[in-house]
Amino acid sequence: MMDSAKQAQIDNYLDLYLYAGKIQDKAWQEAIIAKLSSLQSGETDLQKEKSLQQQFIEVNRQILAMYRHIRRHTLDDVPGELTERLFSLKQKRLEISREIETLKNNNQQVYR
């Protein structure tokens, strides 16, 4: 059974869909349909964003731990695999932040 908050959200999207049809904005209708599909699939954008933010925080923690390790040692003592891992974590952090930004942009697009 669906909770009342989720049902209200779906009703609001359906109202927006009808309004988009009235003003003949097909792109907006398609965006709303995509949003409704994601709501029905279970995990909402808010849950996805929260999960991504947790991943982002964990990656930042790992990066900070590596920087602390590097500060305690001279650059000659830092193994190459540590710098490679650091670079990999920085790349992952960028990917996660892009996904978060995409989620936010998609939500703004539906509500425009």
Q: Which segments of the chain does DSSP mark as H helices, in order?
A: 4-22, 26-40, 45-72, 80-111
Instruction: Indicate whether 19 pLDDT > 90.
Output: yes
pTM of the predicted structure, to 2 decimals: 0.54
Tally of CB atoms within 10 A around 96 = 20
- Are 17 and 29 in contact by the 8 Å Cβ rule? The answer is yes
- Are 82 and 63 in contact by the 8 Å Cβ rule? The answer is no
Higher confidence at residue 76 or residue 65?
Answer: 65
Tally of CB atoms within 10 A around 15 = 11
Helices 4-22 and 80-111, packing angle to 10 deg: 60
What is the percentage of the chain residues whose pLDDT exceeds 90? 38
Question: Mean pLDDT over all residues of the chain?
Answer: 83
